[in-house]
Amino acid sequence: MAKLTQDELLAQFEEMTLIELSEFVKAFEEKFDVTAAAAAPVVVAGGAAGGAAAEAAEEKDEFDVILTGAGDKKIQVIKVVRELTSLGLKEAKDLVDGTPKPVLEKVNKETAEKAAESLKGAGASVEVK
């Protein structure tokens, strides 16, 4: 098997959905018995109180987007769920019908907020945990 360059690997990862990438990271961690961690630690600005520094260090970096209700525009919500995930039509419909259910799990804050906005824009009730 030919060895892939770093650029070739990154190109492959770009084509993956967030869920596929998350599953890959989990499999990688299990295979090599490692944990993926942030490359740069959180730096707290000088002069901050000790309590504020502790809060910054404990801030969540993984969020779950939970669909709590489809609302009146169920078809629109199903379309958005399909855009956010790699689910097919039936799987997305089942997810929407079976609320409350997680749409995205263990994603960063920005991704979770964008997904929640998209789902709310389609008329769904969403919770970010």
Burial class (CB in 10 A: 0-12, 13-18, 19+), 58: exposed
Q: Which of 108, 100, 59 is nearest to 119 (CA)?
A: 100
pTM of the model: 0.52
Q: Domains of the chain, with CATH numbers?
A: 1-38 (no CATH), 63-128 (3.30.1390.10)
Q: How confident is the model at residue 87 (pLDDT cuts 50, 70, 90)?
A: confident
Relative to beta strand 63-69, strand 101-107 is antiparallel
Region 4-24: mean pLDDT is 83
Name which of 40-49, 91-100, 110-119 the model is least confident about: 40-49
What 8-state DSSP symbol labels residue 97? H
Q: How confident is the model at residue 46 (pLDDT cuts 50, 70, 90)?
A: very low
- What pLDDT, on the 0 to 100 scale, is given for residue 1? 60
Give the separation between CA 64 and CA 129, rounded to whole angstroms. Answer: 5
The mean of the pLDDT values for the chain is 78
Name which of 38-52, 66-80, 113-127 the model is least confident about: 38-52
- What pLDDT, on the 0 to 100 scale, is given for residue 103? 85
CA distances from 123 to 68, 81, 101, 120 (A): 11, 12, 16, 5
